[in-house]
Amino acid sequence: MNQLQQELKRRRTFAIISHPDAGKTTLTEKLLVLGGAIRTAGAVKSRKAEKFATSDWMELEKKRGISVTSSVMQFEYDSYKINILDTPGHQDFSEDTYRTLMAVDSVVMIIDAAKGVEPQTIKLFKVCRERKIPIFTFINKLDRQGKEPLELFEEIENVLGIESYPINYPIGMGQSFRGVYDRQEHKIEWYNEKRERQVQALSEVDELSELLKDTVDDYTLSQLEENLMLLDEAGSTFDLEAVKAGKQTPVFFGSAISNFGVPTFLEHYLKLAPQPQPLQSSEGVIQPDDPNFSGFIFKIQANMNPAHRDRIAFLRICSGKFEKGMSVYLDRTGKQLKLAQPQQFFADSRELIDDAYPGDIVGLYDTGFYQIGDTVCSSKDTFNFGALPQFSPEHFAKVRAKNAMKQKHFLKGVSQLAQEGAIQVYKTQYEETILGVVGTLQFDVFVYRMQAEYGVDLDIERMPHQVAKWIANREEAEALRRNSNNLVVSDYKDRPVIIFENDFSLRWFQQKHPKVELRDSSHNM
């Protein structure tokens, strides 16, 4: 086996998805502690705490106690090289999350035991399902009272439409929680307040009741025996091929805040999860062990280091070996460029690297050269991995610098933040700047970052509009622009866009102008 194939075998690249407050960032922190990447996990919830979640690098995230950008972390555990992409849970930042999901080989879905499957989880799950991404489920907060496990399995299957297979099963819940029973390896992992890991193997399944009879009450024990028997007789059988196809999800129970069940989950996950997978391109399927290097940009982030005002393009490596200083071709332009000063990340800290392999995420210094969705190849015969998802904004606002002397900084900030893909920027024929966002919290982040990173205070005026459509024909767009009833603007690539107040206004327009072709996004224009 050559070096490339050996490196592929030990790589796992995954994103963690959940509804806000299900424990996503907490689980990320505990995984990083396990990998020796950090010594103590940050206090994610407390705004006043001295420690903050390592994956929440932006100052605003630390103040609010939420994740508003995807962050990338890499570490090693048990000879595996792990790439975690911690995504924003808040629905206002789902566009960033959706693009991040394009760069992973599997997903860890966290479900709050008390709340079950929540709306944002459903949305994110659908994207994973469409891409047939293997999904591993971690049911969190078992040390609090929650829904019955069988009820949670039923919810996963009915609401999400995916078969579930519990790898382990909880012994009690809330105050009666004593641990979990591993159905595959026939062992008990005991829960204790000291947070020490205690595992006890069983020589045969019948030992379970004997071991637990002095530890749990009669009701908890009888329910456990009954439910385990029900799962063995009527539940799903474990099917690794179904897991890899995204049709069955292995389910694990634990408590991320107390680190219970996290090491067990990680060990099972590393054995079951896929290594970097083949990807569809404009030239057919690209295998990860193809010696020709390729990768795509799925995220751009400005000012990760405020002292240097730098801009980083995040590259997911898809095939071949990446080497520092290598020359590649950018598919969009056909131009050759050097990949200098490549970095790997640990939230806001980073280190220069010499090489990397498929599945790895590499940061490239960007002077404005890259765009989200760009593909780079070592061969002159370039190809691309297709466009990344772009959402039509649902909220709009006019913005301007309070101080006219700051106009140059204002234009630079708007341009750089737009290129990250979190906001969309439009210009009116009078050179007014309009922002379009998927969720209103993005306005707050934009105002904060413009002030903190570019020194520009803003006046922001919310607009009643809710729908943006791209106009396919430029001549028709100019005719519509001259009609004062239509708000026709230009996007950052000078493509015509018409903005409507609501769906009723859109339908009214389409009835009056049936020949005008409108598109949901700027792709293929």
Q: Any idea what DSSP says for residue 255?
A: B
Please say whether the beta carbons of 487 and 499 come within 8 A. yes
Burial of 210 by CB count in 10 Å (0-12 exposed, 13-18 middle, 19+ buried)?
exposed
**340 marked as part of a ligand binding site:** no
**249 marked as part of a ligand binding site:** no
**513 marked as part of a ligand binding site:** no
Name the packing angle between helices 24-34 and 262-272 (round to 10°). 80
User: What CA–CA distance (Å, rounded) separates 264 from 290?
Assistant: 34
User: What CA–CA distance (Å, rounded) separates 459 from 465?
Assistant: 18
Place of tokens 């795509």: 296
Q: Measure Cα distances from 286 to 2, 167, 265, 291 in Å.
A: 18, 33, 31, 10
Nearest to 374 by CA among 426, 424, 410, 339: 339
**22 marked as part of a ligand binding site:** yes
**86 marked as part of a ligand binding site:** yes
Nearest to 254 by CA among 166, 371, 321: 166
**89 marked as part of a ligand binding site:** yes
Mode of pairing for the β-strands spanning 11-17 and 80-86: parallel
**88 marked as part of a ligand binding site:** yes
Place of tokens 């206004």: 505
User: What CA–CA distance (Å, rounded) separates 493 from 491?
Assistant: 5
Phi and psi, residue 488, nearest 5°: -100, 125
Q: How many CB atoms lie within 10 A of CB 394?
A: 15
User: What CA–CA distance (Å, rounded) separates 493 from 34?
Assistant: 45
User: What CA–CA distance (Å, rounded) separates 197 from 404?
Assistant: 61
**20 marked as part of a ligand binding site:** yes
Nearest to 420 by CA among 292, 337, 297: 297
Burial of 247 by CB count in 10 Å (0-12 exposed, 13-18 middle, 19+ buried)?
middle
> Mapping DSSP to helix (H, G, I), strand (E, B) and coil, where does residue 501 land?
coil
CA distance from start to end of the chain: 45
**24 marked as part of a ligand binding site:** yes
Nearest to 392 by CA among 470, 501, 492: 470
Please say whether the beta carbons of 101 and 131 come within 8 A. yes
**295 marked as part of a ligand binding site:** no
- Tokens representing 303 are 């000012």
Mode of pairing for the β-strands spanning 135-140 and 294-302: unpaired
**28 marked as part of a ligand binding site:** no
**234 marked as part of a ligand binding site:** no
**245 marked as part of a ligand binding site:** no
Binding residues: 18-25, 86-90, 140-143
Binding residues for GTP: 18-25, 86-90, 140-143
